[in-house]
Amino acid sequence: MGELVEKVKDASLAIVESGTETVLDNLPKLSAALTQAGLHGAASVVADGVVGAVAPGVFGAVMGYKVRRFERNVIELISELSASMDKVNERLDRLDENQRRKFSEGMYRDAFLDSIVNENEPEKVAYCVHAFINAMGEEGVSDSFMVALFDDLSRLSRLDIRVLNLHGGSYFTEGRTDDDYNRLISEEGIDESQCRSIRQKLCRFGLLQSKNEEKREQNLEEVQEALSELIKNLNSNKIKKLHDPKYQRITRSDSYAITPLGRRYLRMMRQVDEPE
């Protein structure tokens, strides 16, 4: 993927100058999708920039199935943009020129594209588009956050996100208004050990926190404090009574809590018009 992305970025400047005619000639499905979407205003600029950035000269280096996957993902992207066109235009119009360019032709668009061009799960394309559009209206969005967001989304599976959503109070339902752990296990065909592995992965991403790990950290702090008091006593003429450390009990079955970053990611991925 890295080589493809580099070629995409190298080609993007020339593509912006020449427009999207070449890619639309070579990829009629995208041409039809753009025409049917009827995008206008700032949303049209974003869509043209997205399609144009990944166009000519790239497809000779990839196999046919990658082209079909790319077409499928970009058609889904265009569909989502079209459905939220008014919101896209409204939010982009509120941004200053520098931020607007990052979304339409700059680093935010590039990070977003990297997350969907080779995406194998169609459902995740919608999540990435929602995150991209919601970021336009998000306060305190930084360059590093946007790059990390889309890099993480590219490495999380649809199932990872569904498990995360169980811990976040169902920020988005995906049509499942009564989603719960038992339903997830049954529908996804996984067992407890696989679900635990997913939770551990989400912990490594900083999206969940193991309560047992939190207890271990608290126990370590207790030990450090007790040792500090012991050393003070050894160096003191007056010996004070030491209190036993208050350890947190580590249970065999771990439990997990969503982190602030995990909640923010879920909030970014929700439907654009869905209330918080």
CA distance 219 to 41: 57
pLDDT at 212 (0 to 100)? 60
pLDDT at 163 (0 to 100)? 93
Tens-place pLDDT, residues 147-162: 999 999 999 999 999 9
Residue range 260-269: average pLDDT?
Answer: 93
pLDDT at 136 over 50: yes
Residue range 4-24: average pLDDT?
Answer: 41
Q: In 3-state terms, what secondary structure has residue 256?
A: strand
The per-residue DSSP string of 137-204 comes to T-TT--HHHHHHHHHHHHHS-HHHHHHHHHHTT-S--TT-TT--HHHHHHHHT--HHHHHHHHHHHHH
189 or 228, higher pLDDT:
189
pLDDT at 66 over 90: no
CA distance 182 to 148: 31
Residue range 91-115: average pLDDT?
Answer: 92
Q: What is the mean pLDDT of the chain?
A: 75
